[in-house]
Amino acid sequence: MSWMGHFQVNVDENEIYDQHNYICNGESVFETDKVFSSREELLDWVRKTGFSLGYVIVIKTSKSNESVTLQCDRSGISVSKKKSTKNTGSKKCGCPFELVFSSREELLDWVRKTGFSLGYVIVIKTSKSNESVTLQCDRSGISVKEAYAHNLEQLTEIMADSPGVIPYLNKTWLIRHKELFVVAWTKRYMHFGNHTTSRVESQHAKLKLYLDSSQSDLERVVSYIHEVVKSQFTGIKASIQESRMVIRHRYDMPHFQNLNRFVSLYALDIIFYEFQKCEDVEIYENCGCQLRTSYGLPCSHEQAMYLYQGQPIPLDAVDTFWRKLDFSPCISLDDDLDCNAELEELDAEFKKQSRAGKKSFLRKMKEIATPSKTSVGDPTTQKTTRGCPSCKKKPILSRLYKHKNRLDLPAHQFQNHLNLFPKMFHAFIDRVRDVKPDGNCGFRAVAVGLRLHEDEWPTIRYRLLQELEMHRQQYVTMFGIDGCDRVQNRLDFFNIDEPAPIDNWMSMPEIGILIASHFNLILHTITNSGSQTYLPLRSSPPPWYQHTFISLGFVNNGHYVNILLKEGYPVPTVTQHWFYFKSECATAWITPYMERINNYTQLLNLNRTFQNVNIN
C-alpha cells in the first residue's frame, strides 16, 4: 500500500486578506519526490519540515490505511464557552494550510502526489498598505525579503546623483533608532551573548520551581530567593574553578596555549568553533568580524592571521569579560591611578618638620586642595604716578610675525588644497578645514579632529608632554635620549600671543606616534611626499566601529590642515616604529585594515613613474 498527497486550501485567497489580514508565501517546501516506506516516516518528515519554518503541523482527520489530512495548529477560530468582556487571546488565526494524503493499494509505500502546488505554509501578519506588494511577490515566486533588497538597491542607484539621501536615511533612522532593529543591534554591539529581554521572567520561573505554589508569605519567598541565589552562586563558582583547572583535550594545542586556564571554557568553545572556520576560504573572506564586535573574541580571519604568523592567540586578544575567573570586585581601568605612595612620602616628610615647618606644610597642602580658599593673592605693585602717560605705540601682533625665527604665512582662509594631496585620495576627501598658520597649525588640526576648538592647541601640547614623560623609557628606546629631548623641546611652547618658532613646529613621525598612543586613535598624515598611518602602541583596540580617526594634510612644506575622509578610503602604510615597538595587546589594531592597506600599496605602485637611465 502506498500513499500520495496534495495541497488543499479551503479558504478563498481574497478571503484570507480581507477577513484575517494575513498573507501566505507561495513557495512550497513540501514539493518532494521522496518515497516514504511507512505512515510514521511520512508524518515525521512533514512535522520536521513545518518545524524548520517555525510552525507546528498536526493531524486534522485520519482514516486507518486510507487517508490522512494534516493542518497547521493555528487553523480554525477559537470560540470561548463562557461569555466574557475580557480579551483572553488565542493563537488560532484561521490558517488555511491543509495537506491531504491518500493511499494507493498497488504499492507498499507513501508518496506525495504532484497536484495543486499552491501551499500556504508560512503565515505572517501584514497591513493593508503592504497587500499589493506581497501579492505581487506571491504571484511572481519571490520572497518579500528579496524584493526589499532589490528595491533598496534600485533606490541607491536612483539616488546616485544625490549622495546625501542614503546617508540621511541611515543617520535619521538606522542610527538614531538602532535599538529598535533587534537583529542589527545584536550584530553590531558588544553584548557577550546576552541579547534576550526575558531575563526577569526566567528568574521568576526558577523561583516558581522552588515555591511550588502561587500563594506564599513574604518570609518563605525571601528564603527561597536566597536558595535560588545560593544555587546560582555555587554553579558559577564551580564553572570558574573548572575553567581555572581543566584543559580540555581539543584545546591542548599551541594555538590555545596562552588561553588555557586563563579564559572561560565557554569562551574557548566559541573560539574553537570559529577556529574551525579558518580552513574555509569563503568564510574567511566574508568574516564580518561579528565575533569580535559582539563577543570581544578573535574571529575566524583574525585567528587565521595568528596561524599564518605562527603564533598562538594572545591573551590580550580576548576581552577582559571572559578573563575574569574570580569574585573579586571589578576596578575601572580609568581609576587605576592613585596617590597612596605619594601621600605616605608626604606624611613621612611632614613628621620630620618642626612645628613652624608643619604649619607651613599644612598651608601649602590647603592651597593645593582648596585653592579658592587660600589667603595667597597677587603681589601688590606700586604704580608710577610721576610724569605724563607714555604716547608710545604698543607692539601689535603683526610686527611679531617678522621676527627672523617666526612663521611668516598669509592669513587668508583655505580655498582649495585638493591638488596638493595624492590623486588616490581625491574621491574620498569630503572636507578640508584650514587652521591658523601660526606654527601651531599641526596641534590646531589635531584639536579640530578631536572636535575641540582649534584655539585649544595648548591642551594638545600639554597632554603630549604628559605622554612623553609618563612613558619616557619606551620613547628613549625608540628615539634615543637626544631624540626625546628634541621632541620635548618641540612640545614645550605655550605662548598664545606670538607664533611658534620653527623649533617648536610639529615633526613627524615622533609626534604622530605620541598622538596615536595618548589619544588612543588612528592618525593619518596625507602628503604627496609619502603618507603614513600611526597606531597606538600599548592599548587593546576597541570594536572596529568605535575607532577614532584623524587625518592631517601636510601642504606648502610647512602647514597642516585637517581632512575629513569618506568611508572606504585606502589606508596608508603603517609606520615601522609600530611594528618594532608595539605591545602584544596592540597587535589587533591593524587587523580590520589589512585589505585597505594592500589597496593603498597597489594604487601607489600604479601611480609611480619610472625613468630609464643609461649607465654607459
Q: What's the confidence (pLDDT) of residue 263?
A: 92
Does pLDDT of 149 surpass 80? no
For residue 459, give the C-alpha cell. 591642551
- Mean pLDDT in residue range 176-183: 50
Strand partners, 564: 431
In angstroms, the CA 362 to CA 556 distance is 55
Mean pLDDT, the chain, rounded, equals: 73
Percent of the chain scoring above 70 in pLDDT: 64
What is the residue type of 96? P
In angstroms, the CA 292 to CA 410 distance is 48
Q: What's the confidence (pLDDT) of residue 523?
A: 92
Q: What's the confidence (pLDDT) of residue 51?
A: 73
State the pLDDT confidence band at 85, using cuts at 50, 70 and 90. Answer: low
- Mean pLDDT in residue range 300-304: 83
Does pLDDT of 389 surpass 80? no
Crossing angle of helices 355-369 and 340-352, in 10° steps, is 150
In angstroms, the CA 554 to CA 423 distance is 15
Does pLDDT of 331 surpass 70? no
Between 495 and 191, residue with greater pLDDT = 495
- pTM, whole model, 2 decimals? 0.36
Does pLDDT of 1 surpass 50? no
Does pLDDT of 382 surpass 60? no
Between 9-18, 37-46, 129-138, 352-361, the lowest mean confidence (pLDDT) is in 9-18
What is the residue type of 186? T
Does pLDDT of 377 surpass 80? no
Q: What's the confidence (pLDDT) of residue 148?
A: 56
Does pLDDT of 379 surpass 60? no
Q: What's the confidence (pLDDT) of residue 31?
A: 65
Between 173 and 123, residue with greater pLDDT = 173
For residue 326, give the C-alpha cell. 574570580
Can you name the CATH fold of 418-607?
Cathepsin B; Chain A (3.90.70)
Does pLDDT of 123 surpass 80? no
Report helix, strand and coil shares of the chain as percent, to nearest 5. 50, 10, 40
Place of cell 568605535: 546
State the pLDDT confidence band at 126, using cuts at 50, 70 and 90. Answer: very low
101 by Cβ neighbours in 10 Å (0-12 / 13-18 / 19+) ranks as buried
In angstroms, the CA 70 to CA 8 distance is 10
Percent of the chain scoring above 90 in pLDDT: 5
Per-residue pLDDT tens digits for 207-248: 777 777 767 778 878 888 888 888 888 888 888 888 888 888
Q: What's the confidence (pLDDT) of residue 390?
A: 57
Q: What's the confidence (pLDDT) of residue 446?
A: 92
Stretch(es) of the chain classified as CATH 3.90.70.80: 418-607
Which of 276-280, 370-374, 531-535 is the most confident on average? 531-535
- Rounded to 5 degrees, what angle do the CA atoms 261, 267, 269 make? 95
State the pLDDT confidence band at 65, using cuts at 50, 70 and 90. Answer: low
State the pLDDT confidence band at 534, using cuts at 50, 70 and 90. Answer: very high
**Ramachandran assignment for 139, one of left (phi > 0), alpha (psi -120 to 50 degrees), beta (any other):** alpha
What is the residue type of 450? L
> What letters, b where the CB count within 10 A reaches 16 and e where it falls short, cover 152-191?
eeeeeeeeeeeeeeeeeeeeeeeeeeeeeeeeeeeeeeee
| Closest to 478 measured CA to CA, from 526, 523, 512 | 512
For residue 340, give the C-alpha cell. 597612596
Between 54-68, 308-322, 393-407, the lowest mean confidence (pLDDT) is in 393-407
Does pLDDT of 573 surpass 80? yes
Which of 147-156, 405-414, 549-558 is the most confident on average? 549-558
- Measured in degrees and rounded to the nearest 5, phi and psi for residue 531 equal -90, 155
Q: Are 131 and 23 in contact (CB under 8 A)?
A: yes
| Closest to 461 measured CA to CA, from 498, 483, 488, 427 | 488
List the alpha helices (DSSP H) in 66-217.
131-140, 144-158, 165-169, 182-188, 199-211
Does pLDDT of 113 surpass 70? no
- Mean pLDDT in residue range 349-356: 85
Q: What's the confidence (pLDDT) of residue 9?
A: 36
Does pLDDT of 27 surpass 60? no
